[in-house]
Structure 1
Amino acid sequence: MKLAARLLPCLLLPGCISMAPDYERPEAPVPEMWPDTTEVVIDGNSALQDWRTFIVDPRLQRLIELGLEHNRDLRIATQNLRRTQALYGIQRSEQFPNIDVQANGINQKLPEALNGTETISRQYNVDLGILSYELDFWGRVNSLENQALYAYLASEQGRRNTQIILISQIASAYFTLAADKALLALAEETLRSQRASLALTQQSFDNGVVSGLDVAQAEVTVATARVDVADYSNRVAADINALAVLVGEQIDDTLLPQADGPGELGGLAPIQVGLPSLLLTQRPDIQQAEFELIAANASIGAARAAYFPTISLTATAGVLSSDLDDLFSGDAGTWNFTPSISLPIFHWGEIRSGVEVAKADQQIALAQYEQSIQIAFQEVADALAGRQFLDQQFDAQQMLVAATGETFRLSELRFRQGVDNFFTVLDSQRSYYSAQQVLIAVNLNQQANLINLFRALGGGWTGSPSSEFSPESSPETASE
């Protein structure tokens, strides 16, 4: 009676015994603070949930909206999520018995040579019942359900991570295009200036003021500027094509960035950085790795359950008759109840090896989870360090542009007054042009750094994930 009292709850509640190890979130293998946080703005409530709070340029916002709708990588991630959700539904259904209806008819003729008389027999039956339902005493089916559940949750986080990467890629491509358009505008402006200088130099040569060397040097600068214009024109065309692939469709010209001047790239809001522990809840790739770890943990339970007996039930009830007209008469009822048990005896190490495989997979998932945390910490720390030095470099480069611009203006004025030769003008002009190019590149690096920090902090998803919950909560609660 005591044994029956213990087994009855297991019959009513499958999976009441679990062979899976208890899951505890591993300690994060990173420091509690960012390195050298004296220049970092810390906000313990930073979430970066909606990418629109970070990306404020309306053209870029529209491009990202189009990308979230049409990008093929995101579509693939969405379908993978749909697939794992369906697989979880399949596995979850194994917790409950399948009820099937079977109907068949047998018509058989026996020849006279067999028993001296030719006979014809008929049999019709309709059965409703449960076929081979496994009683989950040892939690094998429940562990497989948990594994499928957390695989689905990991896939959901994978879709979120793909979305964040897509937003970052579109933003990066957008600012790369803006920078190349600025470089193209600068090259075109320089070409016009060089052509004007060439005309002036040619006029001075005709008047015997300058030598033919000065004219040749002016022609070199014009040719160099033409090369730059062609190069940046090619870059702009390639950038537009790359942006169109990310967005997933052709882009209207009104959504393309304008050709801003050096140091004028913008459209991103400042970012406040939370503590490293927030990465565990903000970065979807870390959550994906943790769900995969929990799924591997559940696989150990399923593998261990193979040591114990498998108990199955088959039960049917129906009607049976030799005459189709009498099939549903009152005395045609029939039933069948067939319990079965299978106990492993000699499997030559197969079950033990299966458990070892599950344990190895769990340790691999653990290492991958810890590695994802370390990589996330490094990415944020690198972005924070880069932000400080890029700001210093940008300020210094602005001063250099102002200084070389003034040098070019004065050298050109002195040349026209006959004080300096044309070589001084060309040298100062090259320095001014190069300084402006570097300023655009540094400005682009600043935007790229902000985008990398945004992605590294796990920002960019909108709304609350449908299955977001603490990994320590029960699978039944999580799936409701």
Structure 2
Amino acid sequence: MINMNVMKAPALVFTILLLGGCVSFMPDYQRPEAPVDTDWPVNENPNYSIYPVEYSTASSSTAVPAASSSSATHTPTTSKTAMPAVSPYSDWRNFVRNDKLKQVVEQALYNNRDVRIAVLNILKAEAQYGSQRANLFPNIDVTASGANQRLSENINNGNSTVSRQYSVDLGITNYEIDFWGRISSLEKQALELYLSSIEGRRNTQLTLVSSVIEAYLTLMTDQALLRLANETLVSQQSSLDLTIKSFNNGVATGLDVAQAKTTVATALKDVARFTSQVNVDINALNVLVGKTVPMHLLPQASDSIQFAPIYVGMPSDVLLQRPDILAAEHELIAANANIGAARAAYFPTISLTATGGLLSASASDLFSSDSRSWVFTPALSLPIFNWGELDAREDVAIADQQIALNNYEKTIQTAFREVADALANQATLKDQVAAQQMLVDATGDSFRLSNLRFNEGVDDYFTVLDSQRSYYTAQQDLLTTKLSKELNLLTLYKVLGGGWVETDVPLPDGLDLNSE
């Protein structure tokens, strides 16, 4: 006849498991109101596009940036043709219009160590979440054991005895029933930290894409400055030769020769300086890419880079799309869940041990029907005197939640300021480039006229030297101003949260997380 107590035990265990997790002390989460204005501070209409022009590093002062001939989705009144505006959240390949640069960025996404670390952080957080989630369910284990013992004559009235016991058990050991939601709160915390790590990877890749493009543009500009320095060196060396010839013929003075030599020395110094800077730029690009960039992918004198225009929407769009803001919100939700776990610690901990199996003094009778056995051991632990430890833990959890809240709000405010700054700069940098181009043209005319007047004997060489320096400096400033304009557009694209795309990043060599 079957013992009814044996039949009731599994049902009782099952009922207790169903009751677990019916209470939660996690505070209800509501997304905090964004502590920023609803509109960008630069335009009454927040929905507008910014239209860049072609970025070229040609050193000629007469070069004029050429606009794209593609049709535009939103056409400004000041331009007849423009490229289609792209959403800042689209693939970065829609923003960058240069095949060589695209290949460099793709290599960086595949090889960069920061991206690999971000992927490993996701795998780590995923494993931690899986470990915490497993605590919601009981571990069911099978154990088999055998014990043999001989009692000596000295403790058994002069008779030695041998006892044997064999057992096979299947059951649950020390399973905490989640009546108060402590374990589910910790599981929620681990989940949100895992989701935050995913956003962290997005932010890492977004930053990498922007950094590689910035390094590439900087390299192009320094290469252009080096070409300008070489062109100036050739021109000034020729001028020095003519001045020395004039001095030998009694037309020029020794002062004229000395002044001409200063321009050659300046050009020589700049050639050396920009040669070094180009090499430094290449080294920086190699580190970002994670490997040596092939020579055929490095920028050449004839290369140009073109960016698509960006459609700038409402601030709320930025707040919903930037991965660093999403990561901060997941961390806030995780801290919120941790408060629930801290509050649940005030209540009794109920654990359960329940096993059923076979127990016999003889191995030959172990699997007989008479060897059946079971153990059901519920346990309750209620904190009474803890000297403020639980209160302190709750205070820590609340403080962590407030820290996460302020970090979330600060991240939003920082994002708003970064976009507003980029928009404000973009509005004036186009005018700066145009004004600098006018300055280049004017100083170029001044240099040519002063050189002509010197050759005619009207002015001394000091006037030529001064105008030449102004012209050379204006050409350098034009290149750096163009770079600032394009880097600002790149910054705008980045701070709007765009450019991230999923990539299959390989794990470091020798690491296999699926190995047994």
Q: Does residue 27 of the first structure (1) align with residue 69 of the second (2)?
A: no
Q: Does residue 17 of the first structure (1) align with residue 26 of the second (2)?
A: no
CA deviation after TM superposition for structure 1 residue 39, in Å: 8.5
Q: Does residue 73 of the first structure (1) align with residue 114 of the second (2)?
A: yes
CA distance in 1, matches of 2:166, 2:369: 15
CA deviation after TM superposition for structure 1 residue 438, in Å: 0.3
Number of the residue aligned with 1:232: 274
CA distance in 2, matches of 1:363, 1:384: 32
Q: Does residue 434 of the first structure (1) align with residue 473 of the second (2)?
A: yes
Secondary structure of the residue aligned to 1:331 is: helix
CA deviation after TM superposition for structure 1 residue 267, in Å: 2.6
CA distance in 2, matches of 1:8, 1:315: 11
Deviations 1:314-355 (A, max 9, x none): 111111122223222222211111111111112122112211
CA distance in 2, matches of 1:259, 1:463: 32
1:253-264 equivalences under 5 Å are 253-259=295-301
CA distance in 2, matches of 1:402, 1:185: 19
Q: Does residue 352 of the first structure (1) align with residue 352 of the second (2)?
A: no
CA deviation after TM superposition for structure 1 residue 38, in Å: 5.0
Aligned AA for 1:21?
P
CA deviation after TM superposition for structure 1 residue 413, in Å: 2.6
CA deviation after TM superposition for structure 1 residue 106, in Å: 0.9
Aligned AA for 1:377?
F
Secondary structure of the residue aligned to 1:266 is: strand
Secondary structure of the residue aligned to 1:267 is: strand
**Cα–Cα, structure 1 residues 245 and 463, in superposed 2: closer, same or farther, change >3 Å?**
closer
Secondary structure of the residue aligned to 1:317 is: strand
CA distance in 2, matches of 1:75, 1:37: 40
CA distance in 2, matches of 1:8, 1:120: 40
Secondary structure of the residue aligned to 1:314 is: strand
Secondary structure of the residue aligned to 1:126 is: strand
Aligned AA for 2:265?
A
CA deviation after TM superposition for structure 1 residue 265, in Å: 5.9
CA distance in 2, matches of 1:40, 1:192: 50
Structure 1 gaps of 5+ residues are 1-6, 465-480
CA deviation after TM superposition for structure 1 residue 144, in Å: 0.6
CA deviation after TM superposition for structure 1 residue 410, in Å: 2.2
CA distance in 2, matches of 1:384, 1:358: 39
CA contact (8 A) 1:130 1:314 kept: yes
Aligned residues between the structures: 456
CA distance in 1, matches of 2:275, 2:331: 46
Number of the residue aligned with 1:459: 498
1:297-446 equivalences under 5 Å are 297-446=336-485
Which residue of 311, 314, 318 corresponds with 1:272? 311
CA distance in 2, matches of 1:148, 1:179: 46
* More deviation, 32-41/93-102: 32-41
CA distance in 2, matches of 1:353, 1:421: 83
CA contact (8 A) 1:194 1:222 kept: yes
Deviations 1:5-30 (A, max 9, x none): xx998742632211011000000000
CA distance in 2, matches of 1:382, 1:228: 33
CA deviation after TM superposition for structure 1 residue 458, in Å: 0.7
CA distance in 1, matches of 2:170, 2:280: 66
CA distance in 1, matches of 2:488, 2:16: 56
Which residue of 262, 284, 300 corresponds with 1:242? 284
CA contact (8 A) 2:88 2:493 kept: no
Q: Does residue 36 of the first structure (1) align with residue 42 of the second (2)?
A: yes
CA deviation after TM superposition for structure 1 residue 165, in Å: 0.9
* More deviation, 325-334/396-405: 325-334
CA deviation after TM superposition for structure 1 residue 374, in Å: 0.3
1:108-147 equivalences under 5 Å are 108-115=149-156, 116-147=158-189
Secondary structure of the residue aligned to 2:383 is: coil
CA contact (8 A) 1:106 1:123 kept: yes
CA deviation after TM superposition for structure 1 residue 236, in Å: 0.3
Number of the residue aligned with 2:65: none
1:102-251 equivalences under 5 Å are 102-115=143-156, 116-251=158-293
CA contact (8 A) 1:289 1:365 kept: yes
Q: CA RMSD in A?
A: 2.0
CA deviation after TM superposition for structure 1 residue 416, in Å: 2.7
Deviations 1:362-420 (A, max 9, x none): 11100000000000000000100111111111110011111111222222233333333
Deviations 1:190-236 (A, max 9, x none): 00000000111111111111111111111111111000000000000
CA distance in 1, matches of 2:107, 2:246: 56
CA deviation after TM superposition for structure 1 residue 48, in Å: 2.1
CA distance in 1, matches of 2:201, 2:412: 18
CA distance in 2, matches of 1:277, 1:367: 18
CA distance in 1, matches of 2:354, 2:475: 83
**Cα–Cα, structure 1 residues 257 and 38, in superposed 2: closer, same or farther, change >3 Å?**
farther
Aligned AA for 2:245?
Q
Which residue of 95, 98, 105 corresponds with 1:54? 95
CA contact (8 A) 2:112 2:290 kept: yes
Which of the pair is proportionally richer in helix? 1
CA contact (8 A) 1:265 1:444 kept: no
CA contact (8 A) 1:50 1:463 kept: no
Aligned AA for 2:300?
Q
Aligned AA for 2:430?
D
Q: Does residue 289 of the first structure (1) align with residue 328 of the second (2)?
A: yes
Identity in percent: 58
CA contact (8 A) 2:319 2:325 kept: yes
CA contact (8 A) 1:49 1:463 kept: no
TM-score w.r.t. structure 1 length?
0.91
